[in-house]
Structure formats: C-alpha cells, structure tokens
Structure 1
Amino acid sequence: MEPDFTGGRGRSLTWSGMTAALGGLVLLAFFLVLSMPAKAEARSLEAVAAEIASRYDVEVLRSSEVVLADGSSAYELVVMRPGGNSNAAFQVTRLLADPESGDLIPAFRHGRSGYDLSGAPRFNPGRDGADYIMRRDSLR
C-alpha cells in the first residue's frame, strides 16, 4: 500500500509521482549545467594592453605574462600617463590585468587577517634602520 500525500488540497501524490517529479528535476539540472557557458578563453596580451591604454588614457611601455602567488596567471603592464600640467604627468606605474576579462586586478586583496600587500619591500624609517638603505638607494 502506497502512502497518500494529500497536502490538504484533496489531491494525492504517490511514490511513483514523487520519483517522476524528482527525475524531472534531475533532468532540468542536467540541461542547466550543459547550457552554462564554458570558462572564458584568455585574451591576447596585445589586446588587453590596447584596451587598457584606451580605457585609462595611458601609454603601455612594457607588457608581460606573470604568475601570481596563488598560481593564477595575469598580465603585467608598465604604463605611463601622458604629459601635462598635473603632478601625475609622465607618472609610470605597474598594473596587473586579468587575462580573461581584461579588468585590472587590485593590488590589495582581502585575506584571513585583513588584506595582503602587493609584496613590495617595506621601509620603516627611524624604526628598523631602513632609513639609511632608503637614502642610499635613492641617491644611486
């Protein structure tokens, strides 16, 4: 004897009806997984560099592919701002771009204990004796 699931509406749903509904859900989930887009292909380094140059009005001086600390790949772009009457004229900086989307990767990422720094050397003048090294390296 099969149990009767009326749900208070006067209709009954048997075990065979429930398994048919469950099979339909599994089939729907299968088709949804198949219709999901595949992982985006990595764009070329030249295409990403050209897009960054036009989007941010900078000149790309050098570009290369790098591997980040987490094992993922990124494009490193050394860019220079155009000349002008601002303090940022001819400023050179290094940017990281995602190969798949072409978007910039932020230098500060949230981690377990706050945020992770970019890995650049840190100087604490007057506290760790690094002020002598910083002055020596800046005069070269």
Structure 2
Amino acid sequence: MEYVVQVMHEDESPRYQTYCLALYESWDEGAIGFEFQRDLRDPSDPRAWNPPVYCVVNGAHDASYGGVRRVNWIGGSVEMEFTPESALELGIAGEIVKLAFAGNIRDVESIKRGLVRIFSYGPPDQRPELIGFDTPAVGS
C-alpha cells in the first residue's frame, strides 16, 4: 500500500504532553494517512502512557499502540512494516506501507527527525528497527 503525502503537520502539546507527526494524502473529510504519537512524560510518571509505547492513528481515528516492526528511510520516502495485528487495527491491506513525499513537502528532514523521535520511545524490545536514519534517537 502506498500513500503520497501531501500534508505534514507536527505538533508538541504542553497541555497533553504528547508529540504528534501527521502525514496525510488528504486532510479533508475522510482523511487518508497516519498520525504518529508519543508521550513526552518520563515513563516513571504515573500519568505516562502505560505501556510506554508510541501510537499510530489512521484517518478514521483507528489506533494501534506499538505494532511497527521496521521503518526504512529510502531517499524521498519511508517504508513501514506493521505487525499483522496492527495492520488489522489500522485497516491496512498488507503489512507494508510506503509513504512517498509530494513535491510540496519541503522539510523532509523534519519528518525524518520526527519519525526517529516517535519510534525511539518505549522499551527497546517494543521499538521498530530504524534503517537509513542518520539522526540520533531522541529521548524526549
């Protein structure tokens, strides 16, 4: 399954203490794409997400916590491998999703850093393998 990302939105919410990176083909009614979210609180904080994993949300607001096996940055696109359970929760046909970035998406380095920030969160055994990312993992 392939999406051409036309809309990118990045948000850090002090109120909810979350970081969100939204990558969508369309942002209108019936949005097509994904939001990647993570908690910014320390896992020892009683208000922190438990278990401390990232979350993937599709345009229909279906959510999956964890469930990404591999994230591969390939030039102007990113390929993600989801677990069968996560693919089912998100309504993905197959386990591989490719996100290609349209020409209007100028700041792909922010997307790259954002993906590392999302997927470097949580216990090491629940993080996906990151391939082709030269950005160091961010702890907060």
Identify the TM-score tier after normalising by the shorter chain.
Answer: under 0.3
More relative contact order in 1 or in 2 (CA 8 Å, sep 6+)?
2
Higher helix share: 1
The two structures have a TM-score, normalised by structure 2, of 0.27
**TM-score with structure 1 setting the length:** 0.27
Q: Relative to total residues, which structure has the larger strand share, 1 or 2?
A: 2
Larger Rg: 1
